Amino acid sequence: MTRPRFKTHRLCAAALSLLAWLSVAPAWGAEPAATQPAAAPVDPYVKAVARVRPSVVGVGSYYYKDTPSVQYAGTGFVVGDGLTVATNQHVVEAIRQRDRTAQLRVFFPDGAATDGRRATVVAEDRFHDVALLKIEGPAAPALELSEQTPAQGQSVGILGYPIGLMLGLVPATHRGVVAAVVPSVLPLPTGAKLTPELAEAIKRPYNLYQLDMVVFPGNSGSPMFDAGDARVLGIINKTLADRTREHLLTNPSGISYAVPICWVRELMLRSAAERAETPGVPATPVNGTTP
């Protein structure tokens, strides 16, 4: 007598189900594969700092008879053709007052050369407190200068050498916001004398960026950059001191100021025009383009 076919069909279906289950089930005793955690998103500010860091230099002098042989004056950053450094004019003036202009040097972060790279002053704007240096050696990564004016409350950062080279040639970053846009000349205290410099500033007013950020004397010349895209918006030139310079290290005010980067750009254009008029001297490009 022939068996009913439906039982065979049921057995085949059961066998197929078992095979399907075995194909997806883990081996007996095997540990399930570990799930890799998703990588944490990188803060845009961290990326901005990494982009700015190779271009930020210490500015000072090197002379073997000095003690120490390296004398630090401030911070600077590479712009234009990669051989131009922007800094404060008062940083250059401090080196000049020590009669060390001929020994002017810039020091790159983590650089092996303890005597730095030779530099010369090529342009100065005392009124806006900016200056340009030309350095020897290979071109370095240049920072991009922003065309935008930062808005009040915009998040910004700086990178520089807040207490000189005491902690080594390692730039430190600080982050804050543009607290206000203020006149470069504040109201004079009662009884203060009107100096020729102040009189000139009153006649030719311009604005500064007031920052809600702690900076120190060594930060003079540090780039103030957009916390998102790393473009340079200004250059640190002073901090508010309620007592003496020494108190800026122990009790900083948390209020600092930056010169708009447009004055660095203007000095670069002026310097390039003057150099173009001199035969055999190439012009200095701004943001990688020759003006």
Domain that holds residue 128: 45-143+267-272
Q: Which two tokens stand for residue 114?
A: 């303890």
Are residues 115 and 135 located together in one domain of the fold? yes
Tokens of 221: 């010349």
Q: What is the pLDDT of residues 173-211, one digit of tens each?
A: 999 999 999 887 655 444 555 566 655 656 667 899 999
Chain position carrying tokens 């340009």: 132
**According to the model, what pLDDT value does residue 32 have?**
58
Co-location of 137 and 74 in the same domain: yes
Of the chain, the end-to-end C-alpha distance in Å amounts to 103
Tokens (6 digits) for 80:
């234009």
Q: Give the whole-angstrom CA distance, residue 120 versus residue 195.
A: 30
Question: Which residues neighbour 11 within 8 Å (Cβ) at sequence distance 6 or greater?
Answer: none
Residue for token digits 């202009």?
101
Is 210 in the same domain as 239?
yes
pLDDT value at residue 212: 92
162 and 137 inside one domain: no
pLDDT score recorded for residue 253: 55
pLDDT bracket for residue 15 (50, 70, 90) = very low
Distance of CA 24 to the CA centre of its chain: 54
pLDDT for residue 14? 45
Instruction: Please check whether residues 133 and 165 belong to one and the same domain.
Output: no
- pTM for this one? 0.76
83-110 pLDDT per residue, tens: 999 999 999 999 999 999 999 999 999 7
Q: Is 225 helix (H, G, I), strand (E, B) or coil?
A: strand
One-letter amino acid of 108: F
Same-domain status, 159 and 240: yes
Q: How many domains are there within the chain? A: 2
Q: Please compute the mean of the pLDDT values over residues 122-132 and round it to a whole number.
A: 95
Mean pLDDT of 253-263: 88
Find the length of the chain.
291
Q: Say yes or no: 123 and 170 in one domain.
A: no
